[in-house]
Amino acid sequence: MADYVVPTVRALKAYSWEDSSEKIAKAYGLRPEDVVRFDMNTSPYFLAEGLVASCAKSCANAIAEYPDASYSSLAAKLSEYAGCQQDELVICAGCDEVLDVAVKTFLGSNRKLVTSEPTYPMAEICASSLGNTVVRVARKKEAGYAIDENDFVEECQNANLAYICNPNSPTGNLEPVEKIIRITKAIPCVLFVDEAYFEFAGQSVAPFVRECPNLVVGRTFSKAFGLAGGRVGYAIASRSLVEGMEKVRPPNSVSSISLALAQKALEQKSSMQRNVMALAASRKTLCLRLESLGLPVFSSQANFLLADFGSVESAANACQKLLQKGLVVRDVSKKPGVEGCLRITIRKDADNERLAVELEKILTGSNEQKSKTQRT
């Protein structure tokens, strides 16, 4: 890598995604529309027909101008949804930008971030790029991936920012509100609670931002609202933390069209809630189906499941064979703490069943293969 790149960035491992649907379709002779994404934790439910086009149309006349940098009309609707005041919100281009802004505001450089492992890595990536020390407190499989409260609080005593993803990705487990608040009150730095999946879990620590002046809650329209391509996220925090974040936030990173889409999505809150309920039912069905194939599945409060394939090789083999059928799952099998596991996003029942049928073939195929080898 070129010497122009700062050493802290040169040392980073690039965040990697599965290939695009077009690339996968081309590689395996499929039509792009036959590729189903079980890897991004996005929603299979879209905004009502015609809404995207009508939002684009409503912005057409003003598209030569920047959006109102305070995003005030979205903030007004969002404050109702989030149960806070408008000046307790920071709106950004996705929760990833919220994380970036929080790291710049509360951590800076050459200081210390405490996170956990396994978890969503973006806070760590932002922090490392600025030359910070990162400490990962282990989430142990035998504890259902719960955070060890004492270890976490102790590590935070000389830290400048702490990060907890709740429900956690890629494991899907949820920490109780009381535990998160106890941690917030016991540490001397800001705690960023990433609630990207909170609509699926039905609980939030957002009502505590006034009581806890060091609490920042990050959220997104990418998951339950089905707006990942729109790129809208937000933070909820006390006014003094918001004031700091507002100094760092890029003023126009959310496009006029995305602002209009997010407002429409909030107007359709009840259909989002119906979709969340449908996905919870589909999660249960898929979980039972995977368990019936002999795969241990971890309890999840989000729109995905973590399934244990027993070894890195079995997981990689299943992943590759599913890919050939256009079924893209998230391979986390080489990551510490979730070795041998694949993360599977819940989609509509028909697609979930398509996945289960293919997995059944793969798993019985490999069992037959094993018993044949044992016989010979």
Ligand X SMILES: Cc1ncc(COP(=O)(O)O)c(C=O)c1O
CB nearer ligand X, residue 166 or residue 314? 166
| 303 near ligand X (CB under 6 A) | no
CB of 98 to ligand X, least distance (A): 8
Report the alpha-carbon distance of residue 332 to residue 119 in Å, rounded.
11
Distances in Å between the Cα of 303 and the Cα atoms of 9, 147, 346 are 32, 20, 6
Site string for ligand X, 154-183 (x = CB under 6 A): -----------x---x--------------
- In the complex with ligand X, which residue's Cβ is closer, 127 or 363? 127
Q: How far apart are CA 57 and CA 54, in angstroms?
A: 5
89 binds ligand X (CB under 6 A): no
Closest residue to ligand X, based on beta-carbon distance:
94
Task: Indicate the angle between helix axes 269-292 and 349-375, nearest 10 degrees.
Answer: 20
Q: What angle do CA 150, 156, 158 make, to 5 degrees?
A: 130
Q: What gap in Å lies between CA 23 and CA 326, rounded to an integer?
A: 11
Residues 6+ apart with CB under 8 A from 339: 311, 312, 333
Q: Which is nearer to ligand X, 208 or 304 (CB)?
A: 304
> Which tokens go with 54?
């009508």
Cβ distance to ligand X smaller for residue 40 or 177: 40
**Binding status of residue 39 toward ligand X by CB under 6 A:** no
Query: CB under 6 A: which stretch of 75-83, 91-99, 103-111, 185-193 binds ligand X?
Result: 91-99
Instruction: State which of residues 100, 124, 194, 331 lies at the interface with ligand X (CB under 6 A).
Output: 194
**Residues of this chain, 57-76, that bind ligand X according to CB under 6 A:** none
Residue 41 binding ligand X, by CB under 6 A: yes
Verify binding: residue 43, ligand X, rule CB under 6 A: no
Minimum CB–partner distance for residue 303 and ligand X (Å): 10
The residue (of 120 and 309) whose beta carbon lies closer to ligand X is 120
Selection from 33, 8, 13 nearest residue 21 by Cα: 33
Query: Counting contacts by CB under 6 A, is residue 233 touching ligand X?
Result: yes
Convert 198-224 to b/e letters by CB count within 10 Å (16 or more is b).
Answer: bbbbeebbbebbeebebbbbbbbbbbb
> Which spans of this chain sit near ligand X (rule: CB under 6 A)?
41, 94-96, 120, 165, 169, 194, 196, 220, 222, 228, 233
